Amino acid sequence: MDAQHCKMNGDPFQESMYIEESSNKSGVISLIFSLKEEVGALAKVLRTFEEKGINLTHIESRPSRLNKDEYEFFINLEGKNVPALDKIIKSLRNDIGATVHELSRTKKKDTVPWFPRSIQELDRFANQILSYGAELDADHPGFKDPVYRARRKEFADIAYNYRHGQPIPRVTYTEEEKKTWGTVFRELKSLYPTHACYEHNHVFPLLEKYCGYREDNIPQLEDISKFLQTCTGFRLRPVAGLLSSRDFLAGLAFRVFHSTQYIRHASKPMYTPEPDICHELLGHVPLFADPSFAQFSQEIGLASLGAPDDFIEKLATVYWFTVEFGLCKEGDSLKAYGAGLLSSFGELQYCLSSEPEIQPLVLEKTAVQKYPVTEFQPVYYVAESFKDAKEKLRKFAQTIPRPFSVRYNPYTQRIEVLDNAKQLKNLADTINSKELQICYLEFLKTWIRSSNGKADFVWLHLML
């Protein structure tokens, strides 16, 4: 019914559930394989490629049209690893039970990667994690701890079984888990008054009052999600591990933040090789309650929808240097607003010292900056304000080559694709003039580009 309704309204992107964009680059091999939806299935496949020294340059996923309990994956491989490919395919088929098809594709004109159009469609990829979850790498502090690994599987099962609209299951945390949280909470809270931005320090007492933020208590995602919805419309949903950049950013377009529920291993309370509930609740959540920051985060998500892979990488890098490791100005001082800083006792002090390099936030430069993931950042970017960062992001998003603009409708919780004049005119009665002007100008730019500059100025005059 929903797909038919979209089709009746002239929506060209809903007719195909999975619109592919291929590069047809020489030396690239493409595969499609299907897996049963179960814990750790994708991780086994990715480990197989890694062990054979094969580099994946692209991966996409979708629910299988043939089997409801399976997912299909499209991947690109570097062609220089052809000799090992036969062994890989054989291993996928015989050892893992995957159905594998090797293929070559020709690029289709004006096609874009599939992206969710409704908030319910986040269910389609929320379980397609790239690493961790219930499985841990050998260098993880909890790798040799069977109790911790079993506990991680419990958290993974909660995330795998969750669907949009359901209350997030409550977790009874162990005394050891609460002790780990308490250590992190106590150390970080002592730094926030002098190191965190105003917005973080303004919201944090409210979280203590309404969401159970205490040294001896790990807050519940459901309580926090309800609180955020009353503040900015953001909400949380549980996730088992790391999502791809495309999938994670798509969630932000709907003001949905995929949050872990598990906590780091007790042996190293001040270290984690992956996002955990300390990172999510102490670093991310306070800023999502701020309207300006919430809007900035959603703008990154909206810019990612239907964007080519190279721009997804750039947007993910922008996210890294802002939402994760961003600094901002407060008078004559610098303060931290990035979650990676606000959840790290060591880096929160380091980032405001004289050691790292500090640069102004210029997205064209920031988007291509290389960065380490296992050590403190050598360079940080400073935003004048969240409003300034948001305006810069909107200008940057206009450089993304896609034949449409997008807008999130909070009433229907759907993404509206703006690709013709009729849709823009229908918007005029439902949004304010400033937002309409932004949507309209973005559409004009993409429309003029697609028409090779041969714009119908009579039509433009009538629209104005």
Instruction: Name residues whose C-beta falls within 8 Å of residue 402's C-beta, 6 or more positions apart in sequence.
Output: 112, 306, 307, 308, 446
Which regions of 326-411 does DSSP assign to beta strands (E)?
Answer: 327-330, 333-336, 357-360, 379-383, 405-409
Tell me the torsion sign for CA atoms 387, 389, 392, 393. Answer: negative
**CB 121 within 8 Å of CB 69:** no
Number of other CB atoms surrounding residue 202 within 10 Å = 13
How many angstroms separate the most distant Cα atoms in the chain?
A: 71
Structure tokens at 185: 């909470």
Question: Catalytic amino acids?
Answer: 279, 284, 324, 343
Helix 291-304, helix 386-397: angle, nearest 10: 10
Find the angle CA(56)-CA(241)-CA(364) to the nearest 5 degrees.
60
Phi, then psi, of 400 in degrees rounded to 5: -75, 125
Kind and range of the H or E element at 31?
A: strand 28-36
